[in-house]
């Protein structure tokens, strides 16, 4: 049964074993398609393990430029015998399955609706290469060649990329080229090429880059002028500091002396990670830390201290599936509520919700400005899908006239001319007070404390003095609502309802809106970019009666936050949830929304 | 008490130090600790040390955790910024603060609860990073603010006020610090200011983490007979292995060494002269110092003095190879790579 022609619109899913070099093969394949001018998006499904467990990589080829997982598998590359059965059954009707036929699996070809292409990859590589490790690695590179022939991949681009990757290591270029050629010629000689599902060069990626969110956020930290970064390794946030360290080596070392304009502290745990960032920020450096759910729990104590003592801080939470250790290599948006109100007592924090890697870059820069302006922690809530997967994004730009906003800080001159300085006096009425930095001037000195303090910075247990401080902090949060990034709002004529969503749901929501529109259902859309919620958010909530709140957690946390913080009636906020750990796809959203709207229309 | 304003009357014969400040310029607010608390003597020793070192008070940052000891930064150097943080977490704050600005002097004040129970992990890692700071543990063997529970430094058999004997092994911060690679480890007694001041000064001028364990009796909960952290017991059981004399840079040339005295140059200024009481004690031999301390501890003695020193271990900045100026002073133009660099770096991703 032939598959209908799917040019530049299909999903390749590659099943391998982790630790076998498949990551380089997969990124080579994806990059080659991208260089043919065709938008792609890659999703990596990897285990919390170093070697030997199943792993999948999914490349969505999408001329329409969609960013979410599609939920389909049109081309399956089944390289892992252990998951073969699962992989075969996961292929979408009409799809194609490639497998390593060195060990034939005739008994498993029970899908008459799937075209199975046996390719003896291991056999060919065992004959062509020596050494166990090389044979395993080359077998994976060989499937790139096989796919190249089947999908009509531009092989010149592939060879260029191999050259780029290995530089002057000619032996590696030779072996990789040989492996690619093995796969390519076998397929050309044995099957009809190309398939109907295939690639066609277009011109849609010239102004785009492929980048993951952690790399983009790290770059944002460099561009924000952050000098102290402190962290504790945890999946999926680790690559943020790997990237920061890499960029600092390029951009932050004195060309003459080799001395570093930055300090990275790999702390002993998440408590110390945020503690060091806080100490640095108190002392006048732009400082940050990054973590994931379990780390956020540990950091709660310090978040309360930073909130109450009013120290700027940028914290990246690259969310993963919880609770507890949960699924470290699976994605979720499960930390919304715990981040918003982290720590005991009346605390609340500014949150930013980037939707893709490009926004990770720009919102990072905003996060540092907001933290300094508001003198409080700003938590950037990213997730594993944004943080670790490669997304196509518009090229990042930088305005050289940008000046950082360090907020209200009295410098040496100001202190010199001042009679007396008090830390927590709200002179401007916006809830934000002036701070001073250690070492600048004796008049600026004060003792900062997490215990009860009055507006003069002194210890207090007096009701009125305490209230003055905590009520001002509440006012400061109202100021924050006017300073944080506005939501992205898209409206249409006579909508049937609306969607509110955040972060990595964006791609799937946009695709959902397109699909539903073709079915006659029109939806307005607001993507939140920050907490606290400002006037635009309230207005959108007030002017819509049926709002689907799409998010990736079980307990509808964003919906709860909206209800609590805006007094919106819970009746009109309808939860649409996906929380299985894979990136959300429009298939998770379209059904529930369409069903609800049709039911109501019929009633 | 805190509601009493401390009088600031200068005695006509008050002598200013080398930068024209008097000892009063190094004081803080009135203490709210119990009368006779050992911690107040430590604060007085810190005041005297900074005064005599001619350090401008605002070039010092004072940090603490939670507990009676952690309250004391309020009681000295009022012109210095202070950070009274959360329980057991001061070492990480100090680490970050030091990373941001390497030019200030850092003084951490902690207690045996703050450092040896809830904060033991952070303390060990600050030692491991050799953060350039003086870290004082005001050690009294009990939790004072929560009314007299044993702390992790309480000795086996030492009794609580109501007679109950401690049954758990103590954690000795001195032995721990020497074992895990500390670069400056000392022990003093709040009741012996004469020997405490040089330890504080040397600790301030040592480039690296200077751990100073000060036995500082709690007059309310742990100063009775049967306690091994009382004034009386500490005085009787103290055994000074090495006396330290701090010699400021300006007097270095004139100082002549007596027999049996070794001199160590401190990277942040001045020298420390070590007068050994026992000939066989070597404060630069890590293995032998701990054996010596353990041997004397077995006899019920409390070994004091500058017990271990290595001024050559790189501090946090040395190990990180950071620039000489404070990171917090770097201007944005230096730190931001600009639009052209951004364009170039993206070539690899397109």
Domains and CATH numbers, chain B: 23-349 (3.40.50.970)
Q: A259 CB near a chain B CB, below 8 Å?
A: yes
Task: Read off φ and ψ for residue B213, nearest 5 degrees.
Answer: -90, 120
Higher pLDDT, B12 or B47: B47
Bridge partners (DSSP) of residue A11 are A60
Distance between CA B330 and CA B341 in Å, rounded? 19
User: Which long-range contacts does B230-233 make (Cβ < 8 Å, 24+ apart)?
Assistant: B231/B38, B231/B191
The verdict on a CB contact (< 8 Å) between A275 and B93 is yes
The ranges of chain A with pLDDT < 50 are 1-3
CA distance A297 to chain B (A): 16
pLDDT in tens, A501-546: 999 999 999 999 999 999 999 999 999 999 999 999 999 999 999 9
CA distance B122 to chain A (A): 7
pLDDT of B3 over the 60 cut: no
Q: A363 CB near a chain B CB, below 8 Å?
A: no
Q: Are A368 and A404 in contact (CB under 8 A)?
A: yes
User: Which long-range contacts does A189-195 make (Cβ < 8 Å, 24+ apart)?
Assistant: A190/A119, A191/A117, A191/A149, A191/A150, A193/A149, A193/A150, A193/A152, A194/A149, A194/A150, A194/A151, A194/A152, A195/A3, A195/A75, A195/A96, A195/A150, A195/A151
Q: A314 CB near a chain B CB, below 8 Å?
A: no
Distance between CA B42 and CA A554 in Å, rounded? 55
The verdict on a CB contact (< 8 Å) between B91 and A272 is yes
pLDDT in tens, A286-328: 999 999 999 999 999 999 999 999 999 999 999 999 999 999 9
pLDDT of B264 over the 50 cut: yes
Q: A159 CB near a chain B CB, below 8 Å?
A: no
Cα A423 to the center of its chain, rounded Å: 37
Q: Are B55 and B100 in contact (CB under 8 A)?
A: no
The verdict on a CB contact (< 8 Å) between A445 and B81 is yes
Distance between CA A381 and CA B96 in Å, rounded? 23
What residues contact residue A565 under an 8 Å CB cut-off, 6+ apart? A531, A532, A533
Domains of chain A: 6-206 (3.40.920.10), 211-394 (3.40.50.970), 412-483 (no CATH), 488-602 (3.40.50.920)
Residues of chain B neighbouring A250 (CB-CB closer than 8 A): 337, 345
pLDDT of residue A1: 37
CA distance A587 to chain B (A): 30
Q: A417 CB near a chain B CB, below 8 Å?
A: no
CA distance A92 to chain B (A): 31
Distance between CA A225 and CA A312 in Å, rounded? 14
pLDDT of residue A461: 96
Distances (CA, A) of A132 to A120, A122, A135, A282, B198: 17, 11, 5, 54, 65
Distance between CA B337 and CA B177 in Å, rounded? 41
Bridge partners (DSSP) of residue A400 are none
Average pLDDT, chain B: 94
SS3 B337: coil
pLDDT of B82 over the 80 cut: yes
Distance between CA A319 and CA A372 in Å, rounded? 24
Closest CA to B135 of B44, B232, B61, B192: B61
The verdict on a CB contact (< 8 Å) between A228 and B327 is yes
Residues of chain A neighbouring B73 (CB-CB closer than 8 A): 447
Longest dimension (CA), chain B: 77
pLDDT of residue A3: 46
Residues of chain B neighbouring A442 (CB-CB closer than 8 A): 56-58, 79
The number of C-alpha atoms within 13 Å of B211 and in the hemisphere containing its C-beta is 33
Q: A448 CB near a chain B CB, below 8 Å?
A: yes
pLDDT of residue A2: 42
pTM score? 0.96
Q: A263 CB near a chain B CB, below 8 Å?
A: yes
Residues of chain A neighbouring B342 (CB-CB closer than 8 A): 219, 223, 396-398
CA distance B217 to chain A (A): 25
The verdict on a CB contact (< 8 Å) between B349 and A260 is no
pLDDT band, very low/low/confident/very high, at B279 (cuts 50, 70, 90): confident
Q: A394 CB near a chain B CB, below 8 Å?
A: no
pLDDT band, very low/low/confident/very high, at B255 (cuts 50, 70, 90): low
Closest CA to A585 of A9, A48, A1, A60: A60
What residues contact residue A337 under an 8 Å CB cut-off, 6+ apart? A555, A557, A560, A561
pLDDT of B250 over the 90 cut: no
SS3 B270: coil
Q: How many beta-carbon pairs under 8 angstroms link A with B?
A: 223
């Amino acid at each position: 049964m032939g598959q209908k022609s799917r040019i530049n619109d299909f999903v390749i899913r590659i099943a391998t074993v982790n630790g076998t070099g498949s990551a380089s093969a997969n990124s080579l394949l994806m990059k080659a398609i991208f260089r043919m001018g065709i938008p792609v998006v890659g999703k990596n499904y990897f285990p919390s393990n170093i070697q030997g467990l199943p792993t999948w990589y999914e490349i969505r080829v999408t001329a329409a430029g969609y960013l979410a997982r599609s939920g389909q598998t049109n081309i399956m590359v089944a390289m892992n015998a252990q998951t073969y059965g699962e992989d075969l059954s996961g292929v979408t009707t009409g799809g194609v399955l490639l497998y390593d036929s060195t060990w034939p699996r005739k008994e498993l070809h029970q899908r008459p609706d799937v075209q199975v292409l046996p390719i003896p990859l291991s056999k060919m590589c065992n004959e062509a290469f020596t050494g166990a490790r090389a044979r395993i690695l080359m077998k994976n590179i060989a499937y790139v060649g096989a796919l190249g022939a089947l999908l009509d991949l531009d092989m010149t681009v592939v060879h260029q990329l191999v050259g780029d990757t290995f530089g002057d290591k000619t032996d590696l270029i030779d072996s990789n080229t040989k492996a690619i050629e093995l796969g390519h010629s076998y397929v050309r000689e044995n099957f009809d090429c190309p398939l109907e599902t295939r690639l066609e060069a277009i011109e849609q990626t010239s102004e785009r880059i492929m980048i993951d969110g952690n790399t983009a956020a790290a770059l944002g930290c460099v561009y924000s002028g952050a000098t102290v970064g402190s962290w504790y390794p945890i999946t999926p946030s680790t690559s943020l500091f790997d990237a920061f360290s890499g960029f600092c080596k390029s951009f932050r070392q004195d060309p003459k002396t080799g001395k570093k304009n930055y300090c990275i502290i790999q702390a002993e745990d998440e408590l110390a990670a945020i503690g060091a960032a806080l100490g640095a920020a108190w002392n006048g450096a732009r400082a940050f830390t990054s973590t994931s759910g379990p780390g956020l729990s540990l950091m709660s104590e310090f978040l309360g201290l930073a909130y109450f003592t009013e120290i700027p801080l940028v914290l990246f939470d690259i969310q993963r599936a919880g609770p507890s250790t949960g699924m470290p290599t699976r994605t979720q948006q499960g930390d919304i509520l715990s981040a918003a109100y982290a720590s005991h007592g009346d605390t609340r924090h500014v949150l930013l919700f980037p939707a893709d890697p490009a926004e990770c870059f720009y919102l990072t820069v905003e996060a540092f400005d907001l933290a300094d302006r508001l003198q409080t922690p700003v938590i950037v809530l990213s997730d594993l899908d944004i943080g670790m997967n490669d997304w196509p994004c518009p090229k990042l730009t930088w305005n050289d006239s940008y000046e950082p906003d360090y907020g209200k800080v009295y410098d040496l001159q100001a202190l010199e001319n001042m009679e007396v300085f008090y830390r927590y006096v709200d002179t401007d009425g916006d809830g934000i007070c002036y701070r001073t930095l250690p070492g600048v001037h004796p008049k600026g000195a004060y003792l900062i404390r997490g215990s009860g303090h009055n507006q003069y910075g002194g210890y207090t247990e007096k009701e009125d003095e305490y209230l003055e401080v905590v009520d001002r902090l509440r006012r400061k949060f109202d100021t924050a609502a006017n300073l944080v990034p506005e939501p992205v709002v898209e409206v249409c004529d006579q909508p049937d309802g609306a969607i509110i969503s955040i972060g990595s749901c964006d791609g799937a929501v946009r695709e959902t809106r397109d699909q539903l529109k073709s079915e006659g259902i029109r939806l307005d859309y607001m993507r939140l970019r920050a907490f606290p919620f400002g006037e635009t958010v309230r207005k959108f909530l007030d002017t819509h009666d049926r709002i689907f709140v799409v998010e990736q957690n079980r307990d509808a946390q964003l919906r709860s936050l909206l209800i609590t913080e805006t007094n919106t009636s819970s009746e009109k906020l309808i939860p649409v949830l996906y929380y299985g750990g894979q990136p959300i796809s429009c298939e998770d959203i379209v059904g529930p929304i369409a069903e609800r709207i049709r039911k109501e229309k019929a009633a | 008490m805190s509601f009493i304003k401390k009088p600031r009357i200068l005695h006509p014969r008050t002598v200013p130090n080398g930068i024209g400040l008097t000892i009063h310029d190094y004081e803080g607010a009135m203490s709210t600790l119990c009368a006779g608390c050992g911690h107040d003597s430590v604060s007085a020793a810190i005041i005297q040390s900074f005064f005599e070192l001619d350090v401008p008070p605002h070039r010092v940052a004072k940090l603490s955790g939670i507990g009676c000891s952690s309250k004391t930064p309020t009681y000295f150097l009022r012109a210095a910024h202070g950070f009274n943080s959360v329980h057991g977490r001061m070492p990480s704050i100090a680490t970050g603060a030091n990373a941001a600005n390497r030019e200030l002097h850092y003084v951490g004040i902690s207690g045996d609860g703050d450092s040896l129970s809830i904060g033991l992990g952070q303390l060990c890692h600050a030692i491991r990073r050799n953060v350039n700071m003086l870290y004082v543990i005001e050690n009294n063997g009990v939790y004072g603010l929560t009314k007299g529970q044993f702390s992790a430094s309480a000795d086996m058999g030492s009794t609580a006020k109501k007679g109950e004997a401690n049954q758990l092994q103590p954690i000795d911060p001195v032995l721990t610090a020497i074992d895990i690679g500390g670069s400056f480890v000392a022990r003093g007694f709040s009741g012996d200011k004469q020997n405490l001041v040089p330890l504080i000064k040397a600790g301030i001028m040592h480039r690296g983490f200077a751990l100073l364990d000060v036995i500082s009796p709690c007059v309310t909960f742990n100063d009775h007979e049967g306690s091994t952290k009382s004034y009386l017991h500490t005085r009787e059981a103290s055994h000074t292995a090495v006396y330290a004399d701090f010699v400021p840079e300006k007097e270095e040339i004139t100082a002549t060494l007596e027999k049996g005295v070794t001199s160590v140059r401190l990277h942040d200024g001045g020298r420390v002269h070590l007068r050994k009481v026992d000939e066989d004690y070597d404060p630069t031999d890590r293995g032998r110092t701990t054996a010596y301390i353990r041997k004397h501890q077995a006899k019920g003695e409390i070994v004091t003095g500058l017990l271990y020193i290595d001024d050559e271990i790189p501090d946090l900045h040395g190990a990180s190879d950071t620039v000489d100026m404070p990171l917090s002073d770097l201007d944005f133009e230096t730190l931001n790579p600009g639009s052209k660099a951004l364009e170039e770096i993206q070539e690899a991703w397109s």
